[in-house]
Structure 1
Amino acid sequence: MNGEWLIRGRDGRLSVYLMAQDAVLWRAEELAGGAWTAARRIGGDRRLSSVAGIGRGADGYTHLAAWSPTPSGGAELVHTTHFRPLLAPLDWAPAGHPDGKGGITGGPAVAVDDQGRGHVFARNEGGGVSKLAQKYKGGWHPWRDLKGADLQGPPAAVPGRAGRMEVYAAGSGTLQYWRQEEPATRFDLVEAVECEARPGTLRALATSDESTTLFFTDGSDRLCVWRPGTKPVPLLSAAGPGPVAATRAAIDGHDCTLVAQRSAGSGRVVFAAYPSEQEELGASWTESGPALPDDALVSLARDADGRVVAATLSPSGGQLLLSRQKDEAGLALGAWQAV
């Protein structure tokens, strides 16, 4: 999944979403903090291809987008909304193609504005980013080319200040950044910086009411941080491949940013936390839990009580494991539980 796949729903229950062969599966808590349902397929029998994008709105609804093959041999993006964890999501509905028609151009990113409208972003055949936005009263606006150049890997999208959409993407030797100046207005390519960012490692997070932050791995295998208007800075060595999971958390009364990843060395989940937007204070990894399969993924969320919850799951069939923040000083996580 392109985005955090552990999601707290409108009613406080947690759900997990994962690509499995040609479908997206989901599981949900039957009661907040309680037992979980069995895995179920999303959106009927429609076959999917490649990675799916996922985003959560302030209303607690989950939006997903994925590529699906067409009868002509091409592909189109499809979209669904999941309103409540114990209800089935809507069936996948066609959302078109950034270039009108063609094949898969790259993994989509999804974000949701403060009006609950889904926004889908994907690379186009010209190498830039195209955007699709829902209308206020249903349906979609036309695809729009946001420009950009030589993009590699999926973009990262995130709602920023007052619900305006912000998008990051990696190019050849560059990081590129788009945003709306105000919600529901046009997007502009605001900034591009020279930087070697590994494709497929981007993760964006709103780290304050005013700013969003991009996490990525550079060519020296360092986990780096970039906020537009500044230069990218290294935070610590990347523990493994792919993007980190990231969330904000209250630790000893301080607003902190927490990142997590599966360590390629030990196979365990590693965590690092630091005061939000104060990367100069440094951070270090702390290991937790058992060794996991090579393809195990990690995601972070906060539950209905504001506690951090970490989840790990393997697409090859590994068990869903969860760990919750304890009511103790520091970032104290409980024992990992299989569900």
Structure 2
Amino acid sequence: MANRSEAPTARSTGSPAAPRLHGAWLARGKEGRFSAYLPRNGEVVRWTEGADGRWTGPVSLGGGGVLLPGLSVGQGADGYVHLVALRPAAGGEPDHVELVHTTQYQTGRPALEWRSLAHPNGPSYTWTGTPAVTVDGIGRTYVFSRNGGGGVSVRAQKDAGGWHPWWDLLGSKTDPSPVAVTNGSGFVELYSSHAKGLVRYQQRESGGKPVREELLPASVTMGTLAAVTGPSGHTTAFYADQEGWVCAWSPDRSLAPTRLVQTAGPGPLTATRCVVDGADRTVLAQRAEDGRLALCAHPSEQEDAGTAWTYTGTPYRELSTALRAGPDGRLVALALADGTSLLTARVRPGGDALALEPWHTLD
């Protein structure tokens, strides 16, 4: 069965669409404070949580007023935050783009200058997909992007600084929004879907080029993928199938695609691990049919335990969500509502498993 793709078709990258957000755009620093990132008016802006729990911002992280409305974020074990955006390629046609990267080393501090990573297909090319970013066990950044042939390319940082050239990982007809994750051994993996199923690209040695594995036939809705690393160190991918179910797939745990719960709505999934009722849980989020945020949790790597959605907040026409565990292990949620309003909330202390405090708006 062919996938339903949520990728834009024949769209201009410069159109005033709602921001496309991917990855760890809610990041937690080594000291436990959070940062939130958002593309706005051609630059990336950041809000920072203070020691008293109050947020300040927005503060510009640069971009020169030319960045397009998309942002992909990855964070390593060292706490460094890596941001990747798109901008019009110098000297190219209006719809030709290149990827650009910057790093924030410490919570609340300025980021480095934005540097070009070019594009897998050369110095300028039209939009082919939303990048995915992850950081390996020794702090090297990997930026994955769907390329013009419909496959996947990656650009990786070198040990001594700088970047390797783009590596073509092959493939075709892949999801424009792949998901990158680092496993418990510090190796990077990429999950994507294909017109006929699921595919994983796995790094097999430190610093090595990820390898495309055999396609797994499955019914997948493109644009719904999420992934987490579990307590075993193995990764699990989550996606919506075309029959309206949320499914889990973990190749290294020999977990075949397994249905968990019916989807709450049609949009992408978000996933993280946190403490719920004193135990390690994997939490999933999705915008519900009625526009509210839906959350569900199950014991990490125990997909047969069952789960159900909890609905919270106000209905919105569009809702992008990032999830993260706080210093105490409890869930923290960040949401971009209707492309403009940035909201955050935490699980109520001592309350029901996924009961959130009132949403707080970041001005």
TM-score bin, normalised by smaller chain: over 0.9
Q: What's the counterpart of residue 306 of structure 2?
A: 282
Deviation digits for residues 30-60 of structure 1 (CA, Å, limit 9, x no counterpart): 22x5211122332241512253211111111
2: CA distance, partners of 1:240 / 1:40: 33
Shift, 1:167, TM fit: 0.3
2: CA distance, partners of 1:254 / 1:235: 19
Match 2:43 to one of 23, 32, 57: 23
Q: 1:148 to 1:221 in 2, by over 3 A?
A: same
Shift, 1:331, TM fit: 4.4
Q: What's the counterpart of residue 86 of structure 2?
A: 67
| TM-score of the two chains, using structure 1 as the length reference | 0.92
Q: What's the counterpart of residue 287 of structure 2?
A: 262
Q: What's the counterpart of residue 111 of structure 2?
A: 89
Match 1:303 to one of 302, 305, 326: 326
Q: What's the counterpart of residue 36 of structure 1?
A: 55
**Does the 8 Å contact 2:24/2:72 carry over to 1?**
no
2: CA distance, partners of 1:315 / 1:9: 27
**Does the 8 Å contact 2:324/2:331 carry over to 1?**
yes
Q: Which amino acid aligns with 2:202?
A: R
2: CA distance, partners of 1:255 / 1:323: 17
2: CA distance, partners of 1:324 / 1:280: 25
**Does the 8 Å contact 1:55/1:110 carry over to 2?**
yes
Shift, 1:209, TM fit: 3.3
Q: Which amino acid aligns with 1:110?
A: V
Greater mean deviation of Cα atoms: 294-303 or 182-191? 182-191
2: CA distance, partners of 1:14 / 1:94: 27
2: CA distance, partners of 1:64 / 1:42: 10
Q: What's the counterpart of residue 229 of structure 2?
A: 206
Length, aligned pairs only? 336
Greater mean deviation of Cα atoms: 46-55 or 74-83? 46-55
Q: What's the counterpart of residue 201 of structure 2?
A: 178
Deviation digits for residues 239-272 of structure 1 (CA, Å, limit 9, x no counterpart): 123322211122334221111222122x322211
| TM-score of the two chains, using structure 2 as the length reference | 0.86
1: CA distance, partners of 2:64 / 2:212: 38
Q: 1:111 to 1:338 in 2, by over 3 A?
A: same
Q: What's the counterpart of residue 267 of structure 2?
A: 242
Q: What's the counterpart of residue 132 of structure 2?
A: 109
Deviation digits for residues 69-107 of structure 1 (CA, Å, limit 9, x no counterpart): 012222111011112231122221101111223222211
Shift, 1:27, TM fit: 0.8
2: CA distance, partners of 1:3 / 1:207: 17
Give the % identical residues: 39
Deviation digits for residues 114-148 of structure 1 (CA, Å, limit 9, x no counterpart): 11111000011222110100112211011101112
Q: Which amino acid aligns with 1:171?
A: H
1: CA distance, partners of 2:106 / 2:46: 12
SS state at 1:105 partner: coil
2: CA distance, partners of 1:211 / 1:324: 27
**Does the 8 Å contact 1:46/1:92 carry over to 2?**
no
